[in-house]
């Protein structure tokens, strides 16, 4: 059974710091992995999607890596800003039919 965990559960950093969020999954047979952002009480915004054949994806200040063999993904945020404050969710897609398993999320607070 696929399980997804995220560490840390919460993180507070001063503005301008670079930071890394971690995601682990138990079964390496994945279709793809996505990182999402969720603002309080809102829906999810897709940040990056990494196909199972890829190692990393980049978008602006965000970089996500994937190591299927070790069951790990990291989301790197460069030069953090207060507007980055949100919950970041890692999600593993186990089939091409979107059966997605989410982690519990990391709550990020960037202090001005």
Interface residues toward other proteins, by CB under 8 A: 4, 31-32, 34, 36, 41-46, 49, 51, 89, 91, 93, 95-105
Tokens standing for residue 19: 């930071």
User: Could you give the CA distance from residue 57 to residue 75 in angstroms, rounded to a whole number?
Assistant: 10
User: Could you give the CA distance from residue 93 to residue 69 in angstroms, rounded to a whole number?
Assistant: 16
Distances (CA, A) of 98 to 13, 20, 77, 86: 33, 26, 26, 24
Nearer to other proteins, 14 or 98 (CB): 98
Residue 69 CB, shortest distance to other proteins, in Å, is 21
Nearer to other proteins, 13 or 101 (CB): 101
Nearer to other proteins, 2 or 63 (CB): 2
Residue 82 CB, shortest distance to other proteins, in Å, is 22
User: Is residue 108 within 8 Å of 21, Cβ to Cβ?
Assistant: yes
Residue 35 CB, shortest distance to other proteins, in Å, is 11
């Amino acid at each position: 059974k696929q399980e997804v965990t995220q560490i840390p559960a919460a993180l507070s950093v001063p503005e301008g710091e670079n930071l890394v969020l971690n995601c682990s999954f138990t079964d390496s047979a994945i279709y793809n992995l996505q990182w999402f952002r969720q603002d309080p009480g809102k829906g999810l915004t897709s940040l990056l999607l990494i196909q199972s054949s890829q190692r990393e994806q980049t978008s602006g200040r965000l970089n996500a890596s994937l190591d299927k063999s070790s069951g790990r993904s990291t989301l790197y945020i460069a030069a953090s800003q207060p507007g980055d404050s949100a919950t970041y969710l890692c999600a593993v897609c186990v089939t091409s039919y979107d059966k997605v398993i989410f982690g519990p999320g990391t709550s990020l607070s960037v202090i001005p």
